[in-house]
Amino acid sequence: HCVRLKFADTIKEIQVPEGVSVLDAAAAAGTRMVHQCGIGTCGTCVGRVSTGAVSMPEGRVYPLRRDEIAAGMRLLCQAHAHGDAEVELDYPAAMLDDNPVVLTAVKLTGLNWLADTVAELKVAVPKSVSFSFRAGQYVRLRVPGTDEWRSYSMASGERSKRRLAFTIRVLPQGAMSEYLRERAAVGDEIAMEGPLGSFGLSGQSGPILLLAGGTGLAPMLSILESLQTVRDRAPIRLVFGCARGRDLFHLDELEGRRSFMPNLSVRVTVDEPLERTDLLCGNPVDTLTADDITPGTSAYLCGPPAMLDAAHARLQELGLPRERIHSEQFLPS
């Protein structure tokens, strides 16, 4: 069947054979689309069917409300066409014109402890390597002296292509944690592969809500740097939460950004009770209210899976359409 994919900036036509999902057929035709899980649970691959019959297998629970399905919304990783159809996507195809993935060795140029449990790792990409990324993407780093790879989002802005920064949660166990605590030294070479991932600004205009749990703040810092240069002065709300007060980091950095981004507001939450009055007690998701979802808002979420599930549910309960929620979950390390 011929399916017309209407992106925000262009239209692409693909052939979708019986029994093949729209997402897979698009990939086979070289057309990239936003997606994450590929199994119908994350909801990122949503599109709206404007004409034709496109359905998802029945008898399963999907992260779409009934009224959204009635309005033609489908998860394209699960959706099959039963004839010619047209599907609208709420983002430009150009957004997925990825920077090429490179495999290279970067040099460790700095290691700072931002909190007891959070390290900032700075690396330099060799001049001979052409590397660029979109704010929100991540790379894989090989733990020096091992064959183990870990994924980290860039916390630095997309314009600083050679000097990358990562904020890394340091755990009692774990290969990268052990390396950072015991062996890391300026000048170390670290194998790096990337950029990877499709998380990042969707191109949707309007207010922006950024919700970060722990080191999920990293891609938000990179995204904020991109937003600094955007003329659109729509409000940007950042909600950043950590489990314990001692896990908090970069509060000065956020304060500094607020001073030159008048449209940015920052809310910091901590799960445990605290004496400080400038922080909210509780989970960042619990602090979300209808005031955070002004008309036209797009939300970007990064954090552990439980926080993302709760945030998705809460934002949709507050009336934010599914296609306006973009999320990146921590990959297990």
Binding site for ligand FES (CB under 6 A): 35-38, 40-45, 75, 77
Single-letter residue type at 237: R
Q: Which residues pair with 329 in a beta bridge?
A: 303
**Pick 43 or 136: Cβ nearer ligand FES:** 43
**Angular region, 43: left φ>0, alpha ψ -120 to 50, beta rest:** left
Please give the Cα distance from 267 to 87 (Å, whole number).
37
**Pick 176 or 301: Cβ nearer ligand FES:** 301
**Pick 22 or 320: Cβ nearer ligand FES:** 22
Please give the Cα distance from 128 to 9 (Å, whole number).
34
Q: Which residues pair with 80 in a beta bridge?
A: 55
Strands 236-242 and 325-329: unpaired
- Among 150, 126, 130, which Cα is nearest to 139's? 150
Minimum CB distance to ligand FES, residue 108 (Å): 35
Please give the Cα distance from 283 to 308 (Å, whole number).
12
**Pick 156 or 316: Cβ nearer ligand FES:** 316
- Among 332, 331, 324, which Cα is nearest to 44's? 324
Cα dihedral: 308, 313, 316, 322 (round 10)? 50
**Pick 90 or 158: Cβ nearer ligand FES:** 90
Minimum CB distance to ligand FES, residue 299 (Å): 16
**Pick 38 or 245: Cβ nearer ligand FES:** 38
**Pick 21 or 269: Cβ nearer ligand FES:** 21
Minimum CB distance to ligand FES, residue 61 (Å): 12
Q: Around 132, how many Cα atoms within 13 Å sit in the side-chain half-sphere?
A: 6
Minimum CB distance to ligand FES, residue 21 (Å): 9
Please give the Cα distance from 216 to 89 (Å, whole number).
26
Minimum CB distance to ligand FES, residue 33 (Å): 9
Please give the Cα distance from 293 to 296 (Å, whole number).
8
Minimum CB distance to ligand FES, residue 79 (Å): 9
DSSP letter (8 states) at residue 322: G
CB distance 134 to 172 below 8 Å: no
Minimum CB distance to ligand FES, residue 138 (Å): 17
Minimum CB distance to ligand FES, residue 18 (Å): 20
Please give the Cα distance from 215 to 180 (Å, whole number).
16
Minimum CB distance to ligand FES, residue 56 (Å): 10
**Pick 14 or 45: Cβ nearer ligand FES:** 45
Spatial CB neighbours of 229, under 8 Å, sequence gap ≥ 6: none
**Pick 46 or 125: Cβ nearer ligand FES:** 46
DSSP helix/strand/coil, 66? helix
